[in-house]
Amino acid sequence: MDMKIQNPAQRMHGRTKSARIANALEEMILSKHLGAGELLPSQQELGDKFNASSRSIREAFKQLEAKGLLTVSQGRRACVKSNNLDQFVESLSDSIIRSGSSNTKLMLDLVQVRTSVEVSAARDFSRNPRRKEVVRDLQEISQVMEQLLPGIRLHDLNSLSSFHVHESDFHKVLVRSNDNIILDAIYENLSPLLDQSLAFAALTSEEYEKKVREYQYIAEALSNGQTDLAVALVLVNLTNLKKKIESHAEKSSRVAFA
């Protein structure tokens, strides 16, 4: 088998050789260059390709097996089990939920995840070949949210629910603009939890209007190639969310101990 795998030696500095090999193979599997049911080359062949010991190859296999991507049997070549991380990330999500963290801490942790991912997307946006398409999607979503504001002022629950759905879509479009297969798989599985953080903080109709303006400004900054401004706006948006969650938690705590 002639696998066109780029040697990972020059990437992921600071990681062990087995981790770099696992990352290279993972990219091949998730991009479906290696399909489910397909056998990998022998450990010796992979060792020659990556200039690595058989021990490093076996350790890489263990990492991928733990993620549900490979099946490894004694005396047989490793086989691709799955081309996605759904099983692994579902398990990760369950672990997060069962971690015993307070609801507030979990929400704040998820906001931090979202912040890191979206700042990265905004910072690298100018190099995105699909940036015009992404900007168009972001603008359309923010327009729909603006159209829902009259209903929110009247406390219409359907308008409020629809607003949260479109707000979630805005964040998903921005995250997916990274074009990172692994990141997209993880985000897709964690997004239901992340979306809870958007609805967790109670807002007034004026604050919803402010949110819409923030999303419109983000789309405009990305459209104009204003990377620093876009990053700053993303940080402002999610910092405000963090503050609302903290404020909500503080009020709830005062009520509980009243």
Over residues 167-177, mean pLDDT: 89
DSSP 30-84: HTTSS-TTPBPPPHHHHHHHHT--HHHHHHHHHHHHHTTSEE--TTS--EE--SS
Q: Please determine, for residue 10, whether its predicted confidence score (pLDDT) is greater than 60.
A: no
Judged by average pLDDT, the poorest of 131-140, 192-201, 229-238 is: 192-201
pLDDT per residue over 189-221, tens digit each? 667 766 766 665 567 889 899 999 999 999 999
Question: Which of 140-144, 178-182, 206-210, 242-246 ranks highest by mean pLDDT?
Answer: 140-144
pLDDT per residue over 30-57, tens digit each? 888 889 999 999 999 999 999 999 999 9
Give the whole-angstrom CA distance, residue 48 versus residue 150.
65
Task: Enumerate domains of the chain plus CATH numbers.
Answer: 8-83 (1.10.10.10), 87-256 (1.20.120.530)
- 71 phi, psi to nearest 5 deg: -115, 125
**Neighbouring-strand partners of residue 79:** 39, 71
Query: 142 is written with which tokens?
Result: 């923010």
Q: Which residue has the higher pLDDT, 87 or 219?
A: 219
Q: Please determine, for residue 13, whether its predicted confidence score (pLDDT) is greater than 50.
A: no
pTM of the full predicted structure?
0.66
Looking at every residue in the chain, the average pLDDT score rounds to 82
Over residues 46-74, mean pLDDT: 90
- pLDDT confidence tier of residue 14, bands split at 50, 70 and 90: very low
pLDDT per residue over 95-129, tens digit each? 655 655 556 777 787 788 788 888 988 998 988 88
Judged by average pLDDT, the poorest of 85-89, 130-134, 212-216, 228-232 is: 85-89
Whole-number pLDDT of residue 135:
96
Per-residue CA distances from 257 to 106, 189, 209, 250 (Å): 22, 36, 33, 11
